[in-house]
Amino acid sequence: MLQEKLNARRLPALMTMHNGQPVQTPDGWRERRRELMDLLSREEYGVTPAPPTAVSAAVDPASGQGNSICAGKAVRQLIRLSFDTPGGPFTFTLTLITPTRVPRAPAFVYMDFQANPPSANVPVEEIIDHGFALAAFSYQDITSDGPASDGLAALYPRDEKTGWGKLGMGAFAASRVLDYLETRGDIDEARVGVTGHSRLGKAALWCGAQDERFSMTVANDSGCSGAAISRGKTGESIDIIAKRFPFWFCGNYQAWRGREEEAPFDQHMVVALCAPRRVYVCSASMDDWADPESEFLSCAAASPAWTAHRVPGLITPDALPETDVPLTEGGVCYHKRWGTHDYSRTDWLWQMACRERFHV
Ligand code: GCU
């Protein structure tokens, strides 16, 4: 049944090299991964510049050595992260919340919509009670969410056709947070996840797809140009998103407006770039704009990238997913939570259960 649904979407082949060779092994996948990175960079998100050689950190004097929060169970610090770019130094603020009783905590790098993150709907105390640290930054601290070339966007030369879009800049900043977390000693750097909601779910997915140091990528309600396949998608389309938010992408993405059927790529390829690490796609049952069915089918279509590593991708009954039944047994995880487009406590609880169970 699922296979028929997938066939109807007529997706471009994931496991075939440009030269027609089938991809069946981890080595083969490494080659294919390079092709896909190149394709998605050039046609959709833009090319990510090389990372800086180092990221430096200074505790913001406003937060002293850190404030005790959650009844002493956590410490909250504001940290100014800086790195060099071709246009000069760039600095942004990270809010780091670490659990007091865990000597080396696994962590979430979380992109937030609001200034002074984490925003009120992030269940901080529960994240702490599960033993995770939370490293949150506000995406508009990186660059504004509009056409202006400000913040990080002003500091790198940008090719009109293939230069990175703002989703890519958010993803790049999340990787710089991981650079820093790796230096701290109180974070388990082998267990750092990246996550965000909606447009920031798209950025988180592109981040986890590119940066193989993240053990877990969680794309919440990421929809169009995120986890949802574009072919046959309902709700938002490439035409709509690339018209309203051209600055999220590279210039070349415009060419695929109304032409998703002809594009040499689709979003299952972005999900697949996380292989063989764990990826978790979260949908909401009433989120028609994002289209849960297209997010789910993307997970199924990406799964052969895990199979090539001899690990299962999405483990699912041969049916569309039931609401509120998380599918987290395989390398590709999925749930459709009841409710509207939002990052709910339930989304956090289910992904934390998965991370704890599989130690990722
Ligand atoms: C708009 C946009 C979506 C995006 C969402 C959000 O609705 O069309 O693609 O995910 O904003 O970020 O909240």
Closest protein CA for atom 7 of ligand 1: 289
pLDDT recorded at residue 181: 98
* d(CA 118, ligand 1 centre) in Å: 19
Query: What tokens appear for 256 in the block?
Result: 């695929």
pLDDT recorded at residue 292: 98
* d(CA 253, ligand 1 centre) in Å: 17
Does the beta carbon of 313 sit less than 6 angstroms from any atom of ligand 1?
no
Q: Which atom of ligand 1 is nearest to the CA of 224?
A: 9
pLDDT recorded at residue 63: 76
Closest protein CA for atom 1 of ligand 1: 199
Does the beta carbon of 196 sit less than 6 angstroms from any atom of ligand 1?
no
pLDDT recorded at residue 131: 98
pLDDT recorded at residue 62: 76
Long-range pairs for 256-262 at CB < 8 Å and ≥24 separation?
256/43, 256/44, 260/230, 260/231, 260/233, 261/10, 261/231
pLDDT recorded at residue 50: 98
Query: Is residue 226 packed enough to be buried (19+ CB in 10 Å), middle (13-18) or exposed (0-12)?
Result: buried
d(CA 357, CA 161): 43
126 close to 355: Cβ distance less than 8 angstroms: no
* d(CA 50, ligand 1 centre) in Å: 28
CB contact burial 138-174 (16+ within 10 A = b; e otherwise): bbbbbbeeeeeeebbbebbebeeeebbbbbbbbbbbb
Does the beta carbon of 236 sit less than 6 angstroms from any atom of ligand 1?
yes
Strand (E) or helix (H) holding 99: strand 88-99
Closest protein CA for atom 13 of ligand 1: 198
pLDDT recorded at residue 61: 78
Does the beta carbon of 130 sit less than 6 angstroms from any atom of ligand 1?
no
Q: Which atom of ligand 1 is nearest to the CA of 225?
A: 9
Does the beta carbon of 218 sit less than 6 angstroms from any atom of ligand 1?
no
Does the beta carbon of 330 sit less than 6 angstroms from any atom of ligand 1?
no
The backbone region for 207, taken as left when phi is positive above 0, alpha when psi lies in -120 to 50, beta otherwise, is alpha
Residues 55-66: tens digit of each pLDDT: 999 998 777 778
Q: Which atom of ligand 1 is nearest to the CA of 244?
A: 8
Q: Please measure the distance between the N-terminal and C-terminal CA atoms of the chain and give it in whole angstroms.
A: 31
* d(CA 360, ligand 1 centre) in Å: 28
Q: Which atom of ligand 1 is nearest to the CA of 199?
A: 12
Ligand 1, pocket-test mutation among 44, 198, 295, 343, most atoms within 8 A of CB: 198
* d(CA 199, ligand 1 centre) in Å: 5
Neighbours of 53 (CB within 10 A): 8
pLDDT recorded at residue 95: 97
**Residues in the chain, pLDDT under 50:** none
pLDDT recorded at residue 198: 98
d(CA 140, CA 145): 6
The candidate with the shortest Cα–Cα distance to 341, out of 276, 292, 293, 269, is: 292
Q: Check if CATH label 3.40.50.2300 holds for domain 2-358.
A: no
Does the beta carbon of 241 sit less than 6 angstroms from any atom of ligand 1?
yes
